[in-house]
A = this chain, B = another copy of it.
Amino acid sequence: MKSVKVVRVGHRYVRDYRTLTHLCLVSRALGAEAIYLEEVEKELKDTVADVNRTWGGDFAVIEERWKKVFQDAKAEGRAIVHLTMYGTPLQEKIAELRKRDSFLLVVGGPKVPGEVYKLSDYNIAVTSQPHSEIAALAITVHDLQKGEELKKVFGDYKLRIVPSAKGKQVEQKS
């Protein structure tokens, strides 16, 4: 599996709480190591901590300015990939991206500063239509990891789902 970190640029906390929660949980479920946000409210931190405690793993939510996150990513040799409807289609760049081993995926929205486009190594579009940074992130990780991320096993869980054709089956760790 490739190493993936995620950074969200330019959100407004109050309006975006549910979107932010989705972004955090998608990043975790698809095997990212951490998400960086400009502001981490206690409620969000608690939600993710609860999910880790119950379902396993050590996904991190970290408060940090995006410019610092970009600098650290460059220092670590990560490819910085900004997901934007204005970018180059994912399907045209995926082969090139897959040559890299570690990534910082950048999600934003309409109010992303112009600098983000310049400082990113790639500006990538998951369709050139308006939709959702949650979906764009999910499809990008899925293609980068070639679906391997769906098989990730989370360590140190309390509950684990036993896949089931009909209904719900959950196993408690003894």
Contacts and interface: CB of A to CB of B under 8 A. Distances in A.
A167 B132 contact: no
A75 interface: no
Interface string A144-174: 0001011110100000110111111110000
A55 B118 CA distance: 26
Nearest to A138: B135
A7 interface: no
A87 interface: yes
A171 to B, nearest CB: 11
Interface in A96-138: 114, 117-118, 122-123, 125-132, 134-138
Nearest to A142: B139
